[in-house]
Amino acid sequence: MKLSARFHRISRRIGAGLATFVLLPAAFCAVAAAAELSESDFKFDGPLGSQGAQIERVGSNHFHITLGHAPKQPTWCNMLYFHITGNAKSNTLRLDVSFPGGDRYRFNHNSATWAYDAENWQAIRWVNPDEPRRRGDSLLFPEFTEEEVWFGAQVPMSYENVVELMERWGRHPHATVHVLGQSLGGRNLYRLEIADPESPVPPAERWVHWMGNQHPGEHNSQWRMVGMVDWLLSDAGADCRRRSISHFVLMNSPDGPSNGWYRVNAQGIDMNRSYFPHGADEEKQAHEAYIVQKDLEELMASDAPVTNLWSMHTWGGLVEPIMVCGPEMGTVLGPWQEFRRIMQENDPQGLIKPLAIRQKPGNGTYWNNGPHIQFGITTILCEGSGDWTCKQRSLDAGAALMKTLADYYHGTRPAER
């Protein structure tokens, strides 16, 4: 009997311990539930933001975001960018996104990416990207392993990224950073100039290349230019730096990324409908477009005028250059077909479509047409890569384009008589 009673006492103690052990996971579950995401964890006004975005909770880690619209453009939605400032770890996330104003420029027509550090971006697919009439779409994120998360369109580039790049490039002895003026939001408009200052070739005998991005939300075209600059400043680009001058305007609307503006500046003007082919006009022209065009006109009036101008953009598919030829093609240099052949040789990864030609420029307010109309120079509309989610592909495509310019524009430019 004594043994039996002792056995029962031990059993009760073991049972109580087991009960305590069984209760522990439930306590941990309660802690996890308390740490689920809330509306206050989402930030829409950082370096990558979305002006006017509103968020509401639908359910556990399930939210609805209503997008705002571009300035003075009630039917043009802002793009979705946000920063989850905390509590993301161990949570999944569903976002339902809508824009009630229309679908002229859809928020889901480009690729989308997210990152834990705003640098190493990975792809995420919209649920219904191929249904253009839908005014809503959803994103389904996997379980997060870090507390903070950033989200953006294509592979995002913020104005702060531009500042960092200019600081890095500016340390190279062959690079000069020019501040052309300030945007309406007070951000610098930069032009990066690359040339070997110790070259025996005078400026008047150098080929001059000009590259610029007009639509602030077309980030893969901006990274394409980064690839061009990095190749040009490498050892491989030394001879090109000696024989040429290259100009890069990485972001013509630097207020765009922090507001989610896909195509416009603060005045609501489409920045690729902002060129004035009869001359820059401070009173009538978009603020930032005037500053950049006025600077271009000063370059054209200098002893080293621009030979060719690239307007960098994105749409779906491969990088797609479309050229209007200037006077050097087929006269001083080989025909445009030679340019196309060299480009294909420099693109072993097949990132770039074969060069296409337009016989005449179109709308003069486009930056790929206006400069040809105004100055008669070679202009290139460079589209494509809008569905890419890998930054390296854009960098590699840019390097191939810059090498093509170096190879085709061989020797030096004949001095004007």
200-221 confidence digits (pLDDT tens): 999 999 999 999 999 999 999 9
Helices 391-408 and 336-345, axial angle in degrees (round to 10): 140
Q: Quick one: pLDDT at residue 2?
A: 42
What is the DSSP-derived secondary structure letter of residue 40?
G
| Model pTM score | 0.91
Of the chain, the percentage scoring pLDDT greater than 90 comes to 86
Measured CA to CA, the distance from residue 98 to residue 106 in angstroms comes to 10
C-alpha angle 97/100/103, rounded to 5°? 85
Residue range 171-195, pLDDT digits in tens: 999 999 999 999 999 999 999 999 9
**How many other CB atoms are there within 10 angstroms of residue 273's CB atom?**
17
**Fold exhibited by the domain 39-153:** Immunoglobulin-like (2.60.40)
Considering the chain, tell me which residue range(s) the CATH 3.40.630.10 domain(s) occupy: 159-408
Tokens of 400: 């191939």
- Strands 112-115 and 149-153, bridge-based pairing: antiparallel
Cβ atoms 207, 404 nearer than 8 A: no
Taking residues 92-98, report their average pLDDT: 97
Residue range 122-155, pLDDT digits in tens: 999 999 877 755 678 999 999 999 999 999 999 9
Taking residues 16-37, report their average pLDDT: 50
For domain 159-408, the CATH architecture is 3-Layer(aba) Sandwich (3.40)
* b/e 290-329 (16+ beta carbons within 10 angstroms → b): bbbbbbbbebbeeebbbbbbbbbbbeeebbbbbbbbbebb
Q: Has residue 81 got a pLDDT over 60?
A: yes
Residue range 314-347, pLDDT digits in tens: 999 999 999 999 999 999 999 999 999 999 999 9
Residue range 217-270, pLDDT digits in tens: 999 999 999 999 999 999 999 999 999 999 999 999 999 999 999 999 999 999
Cβ atoms 93, 144 nearer than 8 A: yes
Measured CA to CA, the distance from residue 290 to residue 115 in angstroms comes to 35
Tokens of 180: 């052309």
Average pLDDT value over all residues in the chain: 92
Measured CA to CA, the distance from residue 405 to residue 127 in angstroms comes to 40
C-alpha angle 70/264/366, rounded to 5°? 140
Q: Quick one: pLDDT at residue 289?
A: 98
**Maximum C-alpha span of the chain:** 122
Q: Quick one: pLDDT at residue 106?
A: 86
Cβ atoms 253, 271 nearer than 8 A: yes
pLDDT band, residue 32 (cuts 50/70/90) = very low
